[in-house]
Homo-oligomer: A and B are copies of this chain.
Amino acid sequence: MSKPTIYSIAQRCGVSAATVSRAFNRPELVSEPVREQIMAAARELGYQPSSAARGLVTGRAETIGLIVSDITNPFFPLLVRAVQRTAERMGSALMLVDAEESAAAEVAHVARLRSRVDGVIVASPRSSSAALREAARGLPCVLLNRPLRDLSSVICDNTSALFDAGDHLYKHGHRSFALLAGPSASWAAARRSQAIRRWARGRGVELTELGPFRATFKGGRQAGAALLETAATAAFAFDDLTACGVLAELAGRGVAVPGERSVVGCDDVLLAKTVTPSLTTVTAPMDDLGETAVQVLTRQIEAPGGAPEHVRLPGVFVARDSTGPRSGS
């Protein structure tokens, strides 16, 4: 027997297909006994409404797309989880694509998803603003961690948390700092560097800028090596992955952390807690970020052409074991 449809059920219950459809979508329009009979038949036949058919008539795919620049970056899994969970709560499925770090792939994927989703979330896009704008034309779209005037965005702003991080180090007696800058193409990297510079200026402490380094473990090792050539006793790494590289490099050279140098990361990926010493870092509110992104997107979908929304969520400083009092002196 082929897949059950509303017609199989209708026939079996001696009603019309419309009634079956209503029993599912507007149950209050169907009398109780009929509705129950229909539900029973549906369960018995293992009926599942065809989302293609429904999508065709409603014009909604009940699906959203999520494009991540690099799924292997430990930053993303928690985000993916939050997005998926929220989407599901809103009755939508999640289509995930991994751009594998290619800007070109990003926009190509947006194009490919167009016909299958109601809207997309692009996380930490690497593409140019123009390319993004063009790719999203006529498609509800929310950017994550990348502001852009004409498109909605949800960003995590770590400025104040980085100030806290700086103060934390300052209180521990540190007076000479290093800024291990992230990739120059990254909006987040620019923003973080800027925050740290401002903080250092405000505090009147010495700040040595190094980099940019790639946002990878290897890049972190290079950053660590560079750090050792300075007199800085504390360093701000671009993100946790970089920070882990720094830690590894320092450990490899027998430099104690936090004994001789303190290191702070950013993002608070899973890695941060598991590495030794555990990382002092800035926690990004992943759940909120993902949830908010989906909500904003949903609004865009329901009111196409509406004004773009911009949401800013702050990160939170968290002290762990990679920072401590300034060494000996």
Residues of chain A touching chain B, judged by Cβ–Cβ distance below 8 Å, are 46, 48-53, 55-56, 61, 63, 71-72, 74, 76-78, 80-81, 84-85, 88, 93-98, 100, 111-116, 138, 217, 241, 244-245, 247-248, 251-252, 270-271, 273-276
Which residue of the partner chain, among B116, B245, B270, contacts A51 with CB atoms under 8 Å?
B116
Residues of B within 8 A of A114 (CB): 48
**Which chain B residue shows the least CB distance to A244?**
B274
Q: Within 8 Å CB of A78, what residues of B?
A: 72
CA distance A111 to B81 in the complex (A): 19
Known contacts A56-B50, A95-B94; A116/B80 CB under 8 A: no
> In the complex the two chains form, is A81's CB within 8 Å of B72's CB?
yes
Indicate if the CB atoms of B72 and A270 lie closer than 8 Å: yes
Given known pairs A50-B56, A244-B274, A271-B274, the reply for A100 and B81 (CB within 8 Å) is yes
Residues of B within 8 A of A94 (CB): 95-97
> Which chain B residues border A53 with CB–CB below 8 Å?
52, 56
Establish whether residues A270 and B95, one from each chain, have CB atoms under 8 Å apart when the complex forms.
Answer: no
A248 to B271, CA, bound (A): 12
In the bound complex, residues from chain B placing their C-beta under 8 Å from that of A116 are: 51, 63, 93
Residues of B within 8 A of A244 (CB): 274
Contact A76 B77 (CB under 8 A): yes
A138 to B88, CA, bound (A): 24
Chain B residues with CB under 8 A of A274: 217, 241, 244-245, 248, 271, 275
In contact, A95 and B98 (Cβ under 8 angstroms): no
Contacts of A51 in B (CB 8 A): 52, 61, 115-116
Report, nearest first, the 6 A-B pairs whose CB atoms are least far apart.
A52-B55, A96-B96, A48-B115, A52-B56, A217-B274, A251-B276
A96 to B115, CA, bound (A): 18
Closest chain B residue, CB of each to CB of A250: B276
CB distance from A83 to the nearest CB of B (A): 10
A303 to nearest B CB, angstroms?
17
Identity of the chain B residue whose Cβ is nearest the Cβ of A54 in the assembled complex:
B52
With A and B bound together, what is the CA distance between A138 and B46 in angstroms?
A: 10
Task: Note all chain B residues with C-beta closer than 8 A to A112.
Answer: 93
Residues on the B chain within 8 Å of A273, using CB: 217
Contact B81 A88 (CB under 8 A): no
